[in-house]
Amino acid sequence: MANVAVIGAQWGDEGKGKVVDWLASRADLVVRFQGGHNAGHTLVVGDETFKLSLLPSGLVRGKLGIIGNGVVVDPEALLAEIDKVAAQGLRVTPDTLRLAENATLILPLHAALDRAREAARGDRRIGTTGRGIGPAYEDKVARRAIRVCDLAEPETLSDKLGELLRHHNTLLAGFGAPTFDKAELLDRLLALAPRILPFAEPVWERLDEARRAGRRILFEGAQAVMLDVDHGTYPFVTSSNTVAATAAAGSGLGPSAVGFVLGIAKAYSTRVGAGPFPTELADATGQLLGDRGHEFGTVTGRRRRCGWFDAALVRQAVKVGGIHGLALTKLDVLDGLPELTIGTGYRIGADALPHLPAAPGAQARAVPIYESMEGWSASTRGARSWAELPAQAIKYVRRIEELTEAPVTLLSTSPERDDTILVRDPFEG
């Protein structure tokens, strides 16, 4: 049996939560391996809706959840999320959740710097969530980060806070923002330590034991390939690598342990915040897709920009993300549209390109090359087999497979967990 890594194949918000929740019933452990509480997964379980940001989705299905070292963790946000799901009847304890002791912490000063920078950019804002993700990753690579394990050593924590504040308070003062007091911040962290440390351990050991025992591991990615800090639409990206290769580095396992890579893509395209979006529809059809798809960010609450499916973009994500198969979601949103359009490439001036260029200026000038096909009038909502799909919907899916050079291995036809057409079980490899 193969392990499975789930990653987004567009700009995020593709419906990874439902797919991970569906796959979790076949897994033994579910691992978050990058990002922070800027990610958002919505899970509909019966009459209950869970909105998760840091907690691995498998917890809802009674699976062991692991937050890997590649995640940046706001301890206050984590505890607040644990309390929130507890109020919904889901109890999270050290028996059900483990946290990498070497994961980097997000502190209040990171969020303050994040917001100050965005405000200073004015009309050139990147569109961050303002939750301190980027500044925390900066501290990690600059080797001045506070990590989970530091909470167990007050003297070490105090020394590292001093170094951190010398850097951040200087930056905050330069932006005209309030600075932080070391003693207050130290007391705040030490007060959190007794609630955070019981979850902490060297998770790489547990994962290695699970791998050797043949237990199924599901790696849960956040954001998506086109928000990858290297491979996405830079600088309008997140601050971590979102590709499947990060599942290994972000959890403490070797690359051979990642297994089957499932890329999640909507049957159309959406994006939250700023940045290039070649197939965006600023018309009634775009509004219709947003309304039908309930396109509001789980974390930000902002309305998502909507557009036609961009096969060239997803094809690029398949190649750089190491995707073996696609899970296509929200097919039902396209029901009743008389004509559908798919982006197959881009044009910049007289030049035709099969992929989105790396330079921001060229990305902004890229005009999509389209092809059109007939839509379908019958409903696909709730379909659980190919036989229940209109013939034209099947043609649409097959054309996506051809253009993206990736098979559709799973098809989602509503937010309900079981409204899913399984073509190939990812855990079978």
CB 182 within 8 A of CB 161: yes
Give, as one character, the DSSP assignment of residue 383: -
Question: What six digits make up the tokens of 48?
Answer: 């209950």
Q: Give the Cα separation of 292 and 378 in Å (integer).
A: 16
Whether the CB-CB separation of 86 and 79 falls below 8 Å is answered with no
Are the folds of 4-100+199-260 and 266-428 the same? no
CATH match for 104-196 among 1.10.3720.10, 3.40.980.10, 1.10.10.10, 1.10.300.10: 1.10.300.10
User: Strand (E) positions, 70-221?
Assistant: 72-73, 97-100, 104-105, 200-201, 217-220
Q: 91: phi > 0 → left, psi -120 to 50 → alpha, else beta; which? A: beta
User: Which residue has 């309930």 as its token pair?
Assistant: 294
Give Cα separations from 38 to 26, 222, 265, 407, 423 (angstroms). 27, 9, 19, 30, 31
Q: Spell out the domain ranges in the chain.
A: 4-100+199-260, 104-196, 266-428
What backbone phi and psi angles, to 5 degrees, belong to 41? Answer: -120, 125
Closest CA to 53 of 42, 69, 68, 66: 42
Residues 41, 110, 168, 231: which is the catalytic one? 41
Active site residue 114: no
pLDDT in tens, the chain (429 residues): 589 999 999 998 898 888 888 898 889 999 999 999 987 777 777 777 888 889 998 898 889 999 999 999 999 999 999 999 999 999 999 999 999 999 999 999 999 999 999 888 887 877 788 899 999 999 999 999 999 999 999 999 999 999 999 999 999 999 999 999 999 999 999 999 999 999 999 999 999 999 999 999 999 999 999 999 999 999 999 999 999 999 999 999 999 999 999 999 999 999 988 899 999 999 999 999 999 988 876 655 668 899 999 999 999 999 999 999 999 999 999 999 999 999 999 999 999 999 999 999 999 999 999 999 999 999 999 999 999 999 999 999 999 999 999 999 999 998 887 889 999 999 987
pTM as predicted: 0.93
Q: What CATH number matches the domain at 266-428, 3.30.365.10, 3.40.630.30, 3.40.50.300, 3.90.170.10?
A: 3.90.170.10
Does the active-site annotation cover 231?
Answer: no
Residue among 13, 74, 228, 419 flagged as catalytic: 13
- Per-residue tokens: 134: 């980027």
Q: Which CATH class is domain 4-100+199-260?
A: alpha beta
